[in-house]
Amino acid sequence: MLADLGLIGTIGEDDEVPVEPESDSGDEEEEGPIVLGRRQKALGKNRSADFNPDFVFTEKEGTYDGSWALADVMSQLKKKRAATTLDEKIEKVRKKRKTEDKEAKSGKLEKEKEAKEGSEPKEQEDLQENDEEGSEDEASETDYSSADENILTKADTLKVKDRKKKKKKGQEAGGFFEDASQYDENLSFQDMNLSRPLLKAITAMGFKQPTPIQKACIPVGLLGKDICACAATGTGKTAAFALPVLERLIYKPRQAPVTRVLVLVPTRELGIQVHSVTRQLAQFCNITTCLAVGGLDVKSQEAALRAAPDILIATPGRLIDHLHNCPSFHLSSIEVLILDEADRMLDEYFEEQMKEIIRMCSHHRQTITAASFPTTLQRVKDLASVSLKNPVRIFVNSNTDVAPFLRQEFIRIRPNREGDREAIVAALLTRTFTDHVMLFTQTKKQAHRMHILLGLMGLQVGELHGNLSQTQRLEALRRFKDEQIDILVATDVAARGLDIEGVKTVINFTMPNTIKHYVHRVGRTARAGRAGRSVSLVGEDERKMLKEIVKAAKAPVKARILPQDVILKFRDKIEKMEKDVYAVLQLEAEEKEMQQSEAQINTAKRLLEKGKEAVVQEPERSWFQTKEERKKEKIAKALQEFDLALRGKKKRKKFMKDAKKKGEMTAEERSQFEILKAQMFAERLAKRNRRAKRARAMPEEEPVRGPAKKQKQGKKSVFDEELTNTSKKALKQYRAGPSFEERKQLGLPHQRRGGNFKSKSRYKRRK
Ligand SMILES: Nc1ncnc2c1ncn2[C@@H]1O[C@H](COP(=O)(O)OP(=O)(O)OP(=O)(O)O)[C@@H](O)[C@H]1O
């Protein structure tokens, strides 16, 4: 059972001093290891009212082994492994290339000998040239020879980017929220009236003092109020919402076991992490937790749900699956609903699923939403569509705040040099940022390609995106966490919430869709008070976002310039590697084909041997939408996107068409495609925001009473009223005909012609 799996352990707890050992080698302007105290002093000058720069993420002294619970979670995964891993394929191609190069070299030497024996002076010249080429070939092998030393050590240039003065906007006022963003700076965990088991767990986890969001959030959460919380990435939001909830659960009288708390998260990996942190915080109390995210075994989750765990952490899709297919499981007992990464949970992508979940939740509950930043107050009000009741707004950072100890750098990509991106990234990863690096790409395809390219260069790389199986995703995360790989290439699936300890550098291959995505991506480093660095490649089309980032930055933003010959060298290297990349992709395709045919053969074999019964059909699981509805929704969304992608964008249309026709894209086109993808997303988002706000209501079917009801129905016309009035009085009046007054007004004879039916019908006829 999941509850017994012991999914304890966390990401990010150790006894390290919060110092970032820099991996840069050839950078003259580089500072030495950034000691937190010093950075803080510097920041002190720039003191922000939103984030308390005096806050120190103190060293963790806990004895608790905070390792990932990945091993346990992975035991739930289906064991369906590829015959060989991608890294094995890369290694195979690399070895082949090495032997081929060796052979070519020895061939050349032999030729050289022959030539020396009976050659003329001109031939000798040619051979000299060949010799030079030969040494370059050698250098193009993955390991760097002395010829490349210069390239590896030549320093980049760093310039501080000018920053236009940020206009200070007043905080958006909203009568809707009670504001509790001010907090008592001296508040300690002990002052918060938390129970002993929780305090013990906090100590065991090594937390010495609460973070600003925890200081602000925990006291309000304990009062049972609805909260709309917002703080920078990596500032401890998870514990901020988990602690008050755990405290309340400890004191709840227990009768029959019921699930009281539901935490919804947007990605599976984040679910695993939140579950792990909750388990650690609850390690000394008798509170049960359950993890129900996609990609993990359904059956064991069902069994765990039947035991009604106190806290359930889930992704929306898998939760709905259980609600519809696990008869005894329901949400009517939910007392606290928590939406982590709330802005994502309430965006269009999850809209239908969220409506369905909230519809099933009990009306009487506390709702807590946690996000890294709400862009506008309107957005926050959107969050209110989950029916927050007199919510308390707790914002301890402003809209575009990045982590306080993040150093932001940008590399300019000149027009028509888009094709250099891969070379620049390769140069950064081999020369400057060699370990604990996350590289973000826009598309899964580019992430995969970068994995292969960098792997062929001899770097230790892994990839994390939606095209991989859950096993592969978690395995990549585990290897990165365990320092088996130095670089994790990922798409935005890994951008939110993931707390991977010790990430030193985040590199953006292209700028992400929106600033919000940027803040999330770079938020994977400089967490919990540690220092970190982000390096983003910015092309002409992306400069607008750069300007905004520079404007919002509190610390100086730097421009990094790589020496041109370094870029050329790596470009050359990549060009030469192209055939090897193709070879790896080919190996993958062949293996996939083999596996598919093997599976078909096995099914046929079983059918032949044991008849139809041998092929066990999984019972179909039901879903809240019919297959038709699901299909319709998907088609509608796809059409909308397609429509947007094409509208007025002839250039794009042509680009897509050309790229498709050619089958293979050049480095330039690949980079453009990445940028295009991000732009399309941003456009879709902008269009969505321009649209008149639909009632994003998640209808709470509570009866509306009193004047509200009248207002809602609108005023009826006299005609409607007469037509629909069926009261006794109205009927009597109708039978009796118009009154004396009415007759006078209508110019009818004043005398009624008797009250009998006959005269009345006559009157009616005349009328
Ligand atoms: N009071 C504290 N003292 C020291 N470390 C803490 C404290 N609270 C949390 N942390 C650590 O800070 C790190 C970041 O915490 P967490 O993942 O909750 O941040 P977050 O705000 O949810 O980030 P994101 O927005 O990226 O999801 C974790 O490693 C956690 O263990």
Q: Record the tokens describing residue 42, joined without a space.
A: 């510097």
- Range ranked top by mean pLDDT from 13-27, 68-82, 101-115, 627-641: 101-115
Higher pLDDT, 578 or 401: 578
Q: What is the DSSP letter of 385?
A: G
Residue 582 CA: distances (Å) to CA of 79, 160, 401, 577, 588: 28, 40, 42, 9, 10
Pocket probe mutation, ligand 1, options 58, 192, 235, max atoms within 8 Å of Cβ: 235
Give 616's contacts (C-beta < 8 A, 6+ positions apart). none
Ligand 1 atom 8: residue of nearest CA: 236
Pocket probe mutation, ligand 1, options 499, 516, 517, 518, max atoms within 8 Å of Cβ: 499
The region that residue 166 occupies, defined by phi over 0 for left and psi between -120 and 50 for alpha, beta otherwise, is beta
- 290 SS3 class: strand
Give the residue-averaged pLDDT of 180-185: 72
How far does residue 421's CA lie from ligand 1's centre (Å)? Answer: 33
CATH 3.40.50.300, domain 178-395, yes or no: yes
How far does residue 334's CA lie from ligand 1's centre (Å)? Answer: 26
Neighbours of 556 (CB within 10 A): 13
Query: Do 293 and 521 contact (CB within 8 A), yes or no?
Result: no
pLDDT range class, residue 541, cuts 50, 70, 90: confident
Q: Is 233 in the pocket of ligand 1 (CB under 6 A)?
A: yes
Query: Do 33 and 22 contact (CB within 8 A), yes or no?
Result: yes
Report the pLDDT value the prediction gives residue 711, as an integer from 0 to 100: 43
How far does residue 238's CA lie from ligand 1's centre (Å)? Answer: 7
DSSP 436-463: SEEEE-SSHHHHHHHHHHHHHTT--EEE
> Each residue of 137-152: pLDDT tens digit?
333 334 455 556 666 6
Nearest to 77 by CA among 297, 388, 389: 297
406-582: CATH topology is: Rossmann fold (3.40.50)
C-beta contacts of 517-522 below 8 A and 24+ residues apart: 517/492, 518/545, 518/549, 519/233, 519/372, 519/373, 519/400, 519/401, 519/402, 520/233, 520/372, 520/492, 520/495, 520/496, 521/438, 521/440, 521/492, 521/495, 522/233, 522/402, 522/403, 522/406, 522/408
Name which of 271-285, 298-312, 723-737, 742-756 the model is least confident about.
742-756
Beta-strand relationship, 406-412 and 461-464? unpaired
136 class by beta-carbon count within 10 Å (0-12 exposed, 13-18 middle, 19+ buried): middle
Share of the chain above pLDDT 90, in %: 32
Per-residue pLDDT at 456 exceeds 90: yes
Kindly report the backbone phi and psi dihedral angles of residue 367, in degrees, each rounded to the nearest multiple of 5, phi listed first.
-120, 130
Q: Is 524 in the pocket of ligand 1 (CB under 6 A)?
A: no
Per-residue pLDDT at 712 exceeds 50: no
pLDDT range class, residue 761, cuts 50, 70, 90: very low
Q: Record the tokens describing residue 472, joined without a space.
A: 């592969």
> Each residue of 578-618: pLDDT tens digit?
999 999 999 999 998 998 888 888 888 888 877 666 556 66
Per-residue pLDDT at 75 exceeds 70: no
Name which of 101-115, 158-172, 681-695 the model is least confident about.
158-172
Query: What pTM was computed for the model?
Result: 0.65
Pocket probe mutation, ligand 1, options 64, 238, 397, 525, max atoms within 8 Å of Cβ: 238
Ligand 1 atom 12: residue of nearest CA: 528
Q: Is 532 in the pocket of ligand 1 (CB under 6 A)?
A: no
Report the pLDDT value the prediction gives residue 715, as an integer from 0 to 100: 53
pLDDT range class, residue 84, cuts 50, 70, 90: confident
Give 627's contacts (C-beta < 8 A, 6+ positions apart). none
Give 100's contacts (C-beta < 8 A, 6+ positions apart). none
Name which of 215-224, 245-254, 697-706 the model is least confident about.
697-706
User: How many residues comprise the chain?
Assistant: 767
> How far apart are the two ends of the chain, measured CA to CA in Å?
81
Name which of 215-224, 234-243, 533-542, 742-751 the model is least confident about.
742-751
Report the pLDDT value the prediction gives residue 156, as an integer from 0 to 100: 81
How far is Cα 559 from Cα 72, in angstroms, rounded to an integer?
A: 43
Per-residue pLDDT at 628 exceeds 80: no
pLDDT range class, residue 454, cuts 50, 70, 90: very high
Half-sphere exposure for 573 (CA within 13 Å, toward CB): 28
What's the chain's average pLDDT? 75
Per-residue pLDDT at 65 exceeds 60: no
Residue ranges of the chain assigned to CATH 3.40.50.300:
178-395, 406-582
Q: Is 13 in the pocket of ligand 1 (CB under 6 A)?
A: yes
- 287 SS3 class: coil
Query: Do 158 and 372 contact (CB within 8 A), yes or no?
Result: no
> Each residue of 364-399: pLDDT tens digit?
889 998 887 654 445 545 545 566 777 888 888 655
Name which of 259-273, 388-402, 418-432, 666-680 the model is least confident about.
388-402
Report the pLDDT value the prediction gives residue 127, as an integer from 0 to 100: 34
User: Which residues lie across from 411 on neighbouring strands?
Assistant: 537
Q: Record the tokens describing residue 245, joined without a space.
A: 């909830």
How far does residue 213's CA lie from ligand 1's centre (Å)? Answer: 10
Residue type at position 283: Q
What distance lies between CA 478 and its chain's CA centroid?
18
Higher pLDDT, 763 or 401: 401
pLDDT range class, residue 638, cuts 50, 70, 90: low
Q: Is 9 in the pocket of ligand 1 (CB under 6 A)?
A: no
Name which of 94-108, 296-310, 466-480, 529-543 the model is least confident about.
94-108
pLDDT range class, residue 349, cuts 50, 70, 90: confident
Per-residue pLDDT at 423 exceeds 80: yes
Give the residue-averaged pLDDT of 315-333: 90
Q: Is 68 in the pocket of ligand 1 (CB under 6 A)?
A: no
Q: Record the tokens describing residue 605, joined without a space.
A: 């074999």
pLDDT range class, residue 56, cuts 50, 70, 90: low
Q: Record the tokens describing residue 6, joined without a space.
A: 């012991």
How far does residue 235's CA lie from ligand 1's centre (Å)? Answer: 5
Nearest to 351 by CA among 360, 343, 361: 343
Per-residue pLDDT at 170 exceeds 90: no
Higher pLDDT, 735 or 651: 735
Q: Is 528 in the pocket of ligand 1 (CB under 6 A)?
A: yes
Higher pLDDT, 65 or 265: 265
Report the pLDDT value the prediction gives residue 696, as an integer from 0 to 100: 43
Per-residue pLDDT at 337 exceeds 80: yes
Q: Is 344 in the pocket of ligand 1 (CB under 6 A)?
A: no
Give the residue-averaged pLDDT of 327-344: 88
Residue type at position 482: D
Query: Do 364 and 204 contact (CB within 8 A), yes or no?
Result: no
Per-residue pLDDT at 691 exceeds 70: no
Report the pLDDT value the prediction gives residue 181, as an integer from 0 to 100: 65
Report the pLDDT value the prediction gives residue 315, as an integer from 0 to 100: 94
Quote helix, strand, coil % in the chain, to nearest 5: 50, 10, 40
Query: Do 367 and 226 contact (CB within 8 A), yes or no?
Result: yes
Q: What is the DSSP letter of 753?
A: -
Residue 529 CA: distances (Å) to CA of 325, 403, 525, 573: 44, 8, 10, 38
pLDDT range class, residue 674, cuts 50, 70, 90: confident
> Each residue of 427-437: pLDDT tens digit?
999 999 999 99
How far is Cα 537 from Cα 410, in angstroms, rounded to an integer?
A: 6
User: Which residues lie across from 401 on neighbouring strands?
Assistant: none
Share of the chain above pLDDT 70, in %: 64
Q: Is 237 in the pocket of ligand 1 (CB under 6 A)?
A: yes
C-beta contacts of 582-591 below 8 A and 24+ residues apart: 583/93, 583/96, 584/86, 584/89, 584/90, 584/93, 584/452, 584/456, 585/452, 587/84, 587/89, 587/92, 587/93, 588/86, 588/89, 591/82, 591/83, 591/84, 591/89
How far is Cα 80 from Cα 718, in angstroms, rounded to an integer?
A: 71
Ligand 1 atom 14: residue of nearest CA: 234
Which ligand 1 atom sits nearest the alpha carbon of residue 205? Answer: 31
Spell out the alpha helix ranges (H) of 483-530: 515-522
Q: Record the tokens describing residue 634, joined without a space.
A: 């998907």
Ligand 1 atom 29: residue of nearest CA: 12
How far does residue 233's CA lie from ligand 1's centre (Å)? Answer: 8
Q: Record the tokens describing residue 647, joined without a space.
A: 């509208």
Per-residue pLDDT at 155 exceeds 80: no
Report the pLDDT value the prediction gives residue 501, as an integer from 0 to 100: 87
Nearest to 689 by CA among 681, 678, 697, 698: 681
Report the pLDDT value the prediction gives residue 282, as an integer from 0 to 100: 95
How far is Cα 268 from Cα 292, in angstroms, rounded to an integer?
A: 9
DSSP 306-364: HT--SEEEE-HHHHHHHHHH-TT--STT--EEEEETHHHHTSGGGHHHHHHHHHHS-SS
How far is Cα 448 from Cα 442, in angstroms, rounded to an integer?
A: 11
Ligand 1 atom 15: residue of nearest CA: 236
Measure the CA dihedral 30/453/92/74, to 10°: 80
Name which of 203-212, 223-232, 269-278, 367-376 the model is least confident about.
367-376
Per-residue pLDDT at 695 exceeds 60: no
